[in-house]
């Protein structure tokens, strides 16, 4: 310790400080933060079991003000620490590359997606300042807690995940994500009065740490794709293949029991992307992806033999689409489980404030004026446009497009793991078209997207694509 202190004392300039900080330490710190993020749903469920449900709060949505704040606060702490590590790593990288004679333009171009998202973050700050309720825009409401402060946490999670150059670290993150999700999914699948009592969810209809079955489904969408990825990439060992296949099947069954059609269709889309993109990029994964698809179909078929909910929901969706196409007002009022009126109202909000929107987490009052008791459009792109303005939506979609174009342009160096991240991100994005962002689900999309941008070889540098 004394030697370290003396070394630090000799440092006189910022470049000297950046040189002193080991790059490996920054990656290790980010890895620890991302692993902690993966554990949070299980941690929150166990915390509820240990601490109990406070007396006097009957509504499951506000299970515990302290408990809810703790989860959101942990996300913010993880994100802001990740942002600090990422900024340090970025400055360290820029310094080294400038010394090597590389131009600033080239460096910035290679980080175009990150810069677009940083611009989106800056835009959200301006939107917050211009909003009618700055406090709520800054911290969010008591339920969602998704103001600008949480946006910074999201960007920090994304940036920390991008620091994971090691393919081993990225694989381990997916493994941990699924392993921590299995007991959470078990509580959802086998929920009953006794289990709710044990977990102190007596005021809830579901033994889940998530406030809503749809929120739980957004989370399941990511972990199901993670389990599929592990099966596709795991070693040729029967025990490992059986474990990941069983995990995928169980998580799929949990999603079906959860009865949320949007994320279910999103998983189908993600598996289709995994199969088609794998063939297009010649990643030699199609056989195992096909097995995953067959398992998915088998689980769905078995579930439908005992429960007609999926068939009814699908039939209702077809009827809603037909009614909307015909201009049937009665159908439009309830279409998409009430989403169609939310979407049309959100389009009106965008027209009213197209540049900076109404501010982060500030749509509740506008919906109330429209006679709607819900505070979000249940469509993330529309939510961004109405809350932050059309330029913010353009920045968000542009960052996604930059990543997609880069993924296919660099097909010679992308790995099978990169394909898994691409398909997982696709599934979550499709799910977000009919869902909300939330402080306990959105970070996992940010995490996947951050790791996805680290395309290439095991250490994150260009190299011939390979499979595990």
How high is the pLDDT of residue 55? Answer: 45
CA 312 to chain centre: 28
Average pLDDT of the chain, as a whole number = 87
Q: What is the pLDDT of residues 396-440, one digit of tens each?
A: 999 999 999 999 998 888 899 999 999 999 999 999 999 989 999
User: What is the number of structural domains in the chain?
Assistant: 1
Residue 65 has pLDDT above 50, yes or no: no
Residue 312 has pLDDT above 80, yes or no: yes
- For residue 347, is it within any domain? no
Asked if residue 372 lies in contact with residue 343, where contact means CB atoms within 8 angstroms, the answer is no
Residue 441 has pLDDT above 60, yes or no: yes
Q: What is the pLDDT of residues 93-127, one digit of tens each?
A: 888 888 888 888 888 888 999 999 999 999 999 99
Q: Would you place residue 207 in the very low, low, confident or very high pLDDT band (cuts 50, 70, 90)?
A: low
- Of these ranges, 270-284, 310-324, 449-463, the one predicted with the greatest mean pLDDT is 270-284
- For residue 240, is it within any domain? yes
Mean pLDDT, residues 172-192: 93
Asked if residue 452 lies in contact with residue 416, where contact means CB atoms within 8 angstroms, the answer is no
Q: Give the Cβ contact number of residue 337 at 10 Å.
A: 17
CA–CA gap between residue 294 and residue 316 (Å, rounded):
25
Residue 463 has pLDDT above 50, yes or no: no
Q: Would you place residue 444 in the very low, low, confident or very high pLDDT band (cuts 50, 70, 90)?
A: very high
- For residue 46, is it within any domain? yes
Tokens of 95: 């310094």
- For residue 63, is it within any domain? yes
How high is the pLDDT of residue 212? Answer: 83
Q: Give the global pTM.
A: 0.90
- Helices 442-453 and 167-189: crossing angle in degrees, nearest 10, is 160
Residue 58 has pLDDT above 90, yes or no: no
Residue 464 has pLDDT above 50, yes or no: no
How high is the pLDDT of residue 378? Answer: 92
- For residue 345, is it within any domain? no
- For residue 375, is it within any domain? no
Helix (H) or strand (E) holding 44: helix 23-51
Mean pLDDT, residues 170-199: 89
CB-based burial label for 2 (10 Å; 0-12, 13-18, 19+): exposed
- For residue 421, is it within any domain? yes
Residue 443 has pLDDT above 60, yes or no: yes
Question: Domain range spanning residue 56?
Answer: 2-110+141-326+411-453
- For residue 224, is it within any domain? yes
Mean pLDDT, residues 382-398: 97
How high is the pLDDT of residue 6? Answer: 61
What is the torsion angle, in degrees rounded to the nearest 10, for the CA atoms of residue 96, residue 417, residue 384 and residue 365?
-120
């Amino acid at each position: 310790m004394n030697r370290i202190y003396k070394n630090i004392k000799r440092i006189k300039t910022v470049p000297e400080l950046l040189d002193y900080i080991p790059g490996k330490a920054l990656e290790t710190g980010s890895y620890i933060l991302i692993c902690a993020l993966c554990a949070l749903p299980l941690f929150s469920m166990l915390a509820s079991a240990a601490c109990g449900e406070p007396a006097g709060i009957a509504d499951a949505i506000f299970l515990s003000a302290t408990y809810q704040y703790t989860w959101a606060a942990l996300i913010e702490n993880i994100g802001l620490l990740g942002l600090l590590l990422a900024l340090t790593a970025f400055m360290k990288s820029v310094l080294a590359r400038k010394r090597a004679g590389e131009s600033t333009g080239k460096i910035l171009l290679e980080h175009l997606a990150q810069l677009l998202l940083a611009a989106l973050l800056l835009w959200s700050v301006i939107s917050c300042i211009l909003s009618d309720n700055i406090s709520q825009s800054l911290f969010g409401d008591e339920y969602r807690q998704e103001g600008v402060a949480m946006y910074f946490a999201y960007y920090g999670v994304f940036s920390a995940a991008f620091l994971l150059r090691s393919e081993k670290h990225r694989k381990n993150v997916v493994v941990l994500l699924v392993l921590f999700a299995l007991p959470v999914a078990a509580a959802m699948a086998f929920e009953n009065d006794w289990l709710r009592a044990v977990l102190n969810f007596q005021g809830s209809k579901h033994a889940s740490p998530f406030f809503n079955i749809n929120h739980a489904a957004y989370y399941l969408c990511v972990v199901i794709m993670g389990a599929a990825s592990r099966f596709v990439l795991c070693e040729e060992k029967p025990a490992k293949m059986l474990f990941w296949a069983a995990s995928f099947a169980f998580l799929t069954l949990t999603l079906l029991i959860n009865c949320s059609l949007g994320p279910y269709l999103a998983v189908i889309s993600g598996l289709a992307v995994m199969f088609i993109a794998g063939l297009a990029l010649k990643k030699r994964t199609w056989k195992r992806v096909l097995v995953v698809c067959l398992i998915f179909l088998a689980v769905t078929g078995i579930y439908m033999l005992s429960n007609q909910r999926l068939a009814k929901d699908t039939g209702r969706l077809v009827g809603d689409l037909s009614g909307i196409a015909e201009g049937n007002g009665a159908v439009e009022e309830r279409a998409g489980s009430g989403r169609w009126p939310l979407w049309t109202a959100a389009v009106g909000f965008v027209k009213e404030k197209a540049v900076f929107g109404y501010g982060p987490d500030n749509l509740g009052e506008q919906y109330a004026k429209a006679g709607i008791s819900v505070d979000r459009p249940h469509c993330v792109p529309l939510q961004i446009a109405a809350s932050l303005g059309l330029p913010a939506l353009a920045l968000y979609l542009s960052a996604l497009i930059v990543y997609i174009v880069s993924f296919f342009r660099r097909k010679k160096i992308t790995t099978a793991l990169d394909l898994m991240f691409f398909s997982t991100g696709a599934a979550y994005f499709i799910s977000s078209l009919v869902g909300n962002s939330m402080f306990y689900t959105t970070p996992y999309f940010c995490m996947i997207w951050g790791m996805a941008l680290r395309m290439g070889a095991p250490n994150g540098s260009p190299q011939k694509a390979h499979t595990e």
